Structure 1
């Protein structure tokens, strides 16, 4: 089969493209990128006006599977008075344009990497695919709306759609919150996070890539939603200590009570940041295990080790 990846130059896309080149049954891989000069280890094409109006001549011709990773993750402060409008423009309307162009070219399966934020940001019991969606911000809302649009296309066109909702993804040079934690530990900054007893589900880059690879041709995957994860949960305190061990650096953690940290965060207007560090977000990956027969190939410990062992990067 021939596979096309949107967002191929990104953190997940580049690793996925490299892995697909060594996957049995995959004859060709093409990455769609904004800048065709991006140095990747697989062929690329310019994405053109694909997001704006679905125009990208030849982007999907002869392709069997599209893996849609491209999207808008952040809206800069002051860029828009209504961030949801910007997220919808790219993550909803743009995704719809990509899917329609893929269907018109004869693509049979469309894999959309969404976000666990569709389920919610915090929980007291692990999220499952059967939970009522509860997006709490504009980004997650746009992902949820895109999922619904894709299933509408699937029902009317016959093109198979697979949705994957990952929690925080970590790996070598990971951006976002994980990258910030790595910087804090690497600089030896004392952190007041030595007494967190929360539970967070994460997914190693290699595990997410493996789940996507499973979904490209599994007969039970079409028109399903799957939650991704490592299959083991970890507190913020444990995560920071594990990052330190993987980096070979000491971790300076001060055991400040969580209630005191939350109180201080509210005073500083940083409640959202505090919740992402102190709150729990657990994911149940039983459906992927039972329906796909999938198991995360590596543990959290191994995933963190690979973050700093670049010889073993996909």
Structure 2
């Protein structure tokens, strides 16, 4: 049986790699959807316009069996919107549920939703892990919007019978990664001393190739129906260890200075960089045992290999 898959956000960080991987599979037909056509977009992508409560998906949903919804208003460190939660809800909640309802009416069999670990929360305590079936505790507007979308998707599934699969990834890295992860690589590459050698946190990360493999697994795995899965590389790293692994991947040793975490937190507070310090100094670990047990899934790419692929491609590009 041929799976006829619609991928939203097809020109994004996740969507680009996902469409490429799906296209390479036998018995899969893929339609990529973007908000609007840009010169950088592949010509075969379909344009849908803004993602909101009024978007008309009817033409694109014809003869499809699965939707993989990666499109979203993404988390922004310094959001300039007057009411960020309102803007997040327009796209991530109203836009998502509008698509889901139209998909259910069109007879779509399965809706795979890329959510976020932020639905679980922002931080774990030492030795503790977020689990797929924990009570959600989102703290910022982005996490709240993803949780509200999950609630709505479950309701659509109950009312229509369309299967919904929810994946909550932590920080995803891979070729083309931007933001703090790319900045970190740049600092290590320049050989700058970094005051992070005394940090003893633990964080779960997710290589892009591992996320893509999990998404593809969830397209037709019978046990994935109406489940929530957490994702990760299967190896959690402290910030100093991550920097050392990055240095190894780019063949430039990380220079780490053992500055106490309390001094770093104080400096971050003075400079208004509490959110950044939270990510560098705090812990966020996910338990992927449910994903492994229910789906028989293992991350195919190690952290070291994921970093090599990430930075090799970035340097080549």
Same fold (TM over 0.5): yes
**Alpha-carbon offset, residue 47 of structure 1:** 1.2
Of 2, 20, 41 in structure 1, the residue corresponding to residue 4 of structure 2 is: 2
- The question of 1:71 aligning with 2:76 is answered no
The one of 188, 191, 199 equivalent to 1:188 is 191
How far off is 1:60 after superposition?
Answer: 1.4
Change (3 A) 1:254 1:75: closer
Paired residues in the alignment total 311
The CA deviation at 1:171 is: 0.4
Question: 1:130-183 CA deviation, whole Å, 9 max, x = no partner?
Answer: 211110101000000000000000000111100000000000121232122122
Distance in 1, matches of 2:258 and 2:24, equals 46
Is the CA contact 1:54–1:101 (under 8 Å) kept in the aligned structure 2?
Answer: no
| Alignment-derived partner of residue 236 in structure 1 | 239
**Structure 2 unmatched ranges of 5 or more:** none
Which residue number in structure 1 is paired with residue 217 of structure 2?
A: 214
Q: 1:78 offset after TM fit, Å?
A: 7.3
Of 131, 135, 140, 1:128 maps to: 131
Residues in 2 aligned to 1:135 and 1:196: alpha-carbon distance in whole angstroms? 25
Q: Per the alignment, do residues 205 and 42 of structure 1 end up closer, same or farther by CA in structure 2, a change over 3 Å counting?
A: farther
Q: Distance in 1 between matches of 2:236 and 2:39?
A: 35
Say whether the 8 Å CA contact 2:243–2:254 is kept in structure 1: yes
Tell me the residue number matched to 1:108.
109
Distance 1:56 1:254 in 2: 53
Structure 1 residue 38, shift from structure 2 partner? 5.1
Which residues of 2 match residues 79-90 of structure 1 at below 5 A? 79-90=80-91
SS in 1 for 2:31: strand
Change (3 A) 1:78 1:225: closer
Query: In the TM superposition, what whole-angstrom CA distance separates every residue of 1:208-255 from its partner, at most 9, and x where no partner exists?
Result: 000000000000001100001001100110111111111122322211
Deviation of 1:262 (Å): 1.3
* RMSD of Structure 2 on Structure 1 (CA): 1.9
